[in-house]
Amino acid sequence: MAAQNPYLGDAKGIESGREIFRIYCAPCHGLKAEGGRGPDLTLGVYNAGDTDQDLFRVIMSGVQGSEMPEYSEKLGADNTWRVISYLRTAAKKDTTSWKGSAANGETLFWDKAGCGGCHLVGNRGGIMGPDLTQVGRKRSAAYLKASVVDVNQDLTPGFLTVIVETKDGKTITGVQRGYDTFSAQLVDAKGVYHSFYKEDVKSIKREARSLMPSTYSKVLTSAEVDDLVAYMMLLRGKQ
């Protein structure tokens, strides 16, 4: 028998839940829980399940293989229930869906905008950028939009740019796949994997900037960007 939430509808519990949320959760889910790097939590529907017990489980244990940490030690059961009571009050009654057309977005993604050249969806697409198979459940619409129109704003962790200059003067640029004292591995925009020993090359530089093209805000109309976001919001598949 799962525990019941002792703070449901309790004004003090909700207020302290809000404070805890601002400290621990807002950096990823936004100050009002409307999402950011993490998903919007005000929609009232969750992948993890919609009961208080489902939310309790996901907050206490985190989501393995994602950026969602586990809070069983940091918060403990009592504070987790307070946060859940707060989330229940933050949930919107009517959820307006994202305005774009997902069908147009899908066509753009694979054709004109060339996103599929660097991103996997299921087993289709390129491998230089992050796998987007589940991006619609991981990220909010606002974050996805910023990813397209303002690429350097919030770099996906683990996607550093590596620039290698070889001794015969060639430059190879790609996304880091490995890096240690002696060597570096990267994947270039064609999806080709490279591995170098530091002693064999002239220089290896790493930069915290994105290799995703920064021109989309100019070459796509804002309606097209909305369509792409609508398409990505539907990417909730299993990996």
Instruction: Return the number of the residue (93 or 238) whose C-beta is nearest ligand HEC.
Output: 238
Judged by CB under 6 A, does residue 35 bind ligand HEC? no
- The enclosing H or E element of 219 equals helix 216-219
- Number of residues this chain uses to bind ligand HEC (CB under 6 A): 53
Judged by CB under 6 A, does residue 86 bind ligand HEC? no
Site for ligand HEC in 135-174 (CB under 6 A): 135, 137-139, 144, 147-148, 151, 155-156, 159
Stretch that binds ligand HEC, among 8-16, 36-44, 96-104, 180-188 (CB under 6 A): 36-44
Cα dihedral across residues 229, 230, 231, 233: positive or negative: positive
Count the alpha carbons within 13 Å of 219 in the hemisphere toward its beta carbon: 9
Chain residues binding ligand HEC by CB under 6 A are 24-25, 27-29, 37-39, 41, 46-48, 55, 58-59, 63, 66-69, 71, 83, 109, 113-115, 117-119, 128-130, 134-135, 137-139, 144, 147-148, 151, 155-156, 159, 175, 189, 210-213, 216, 228, 232
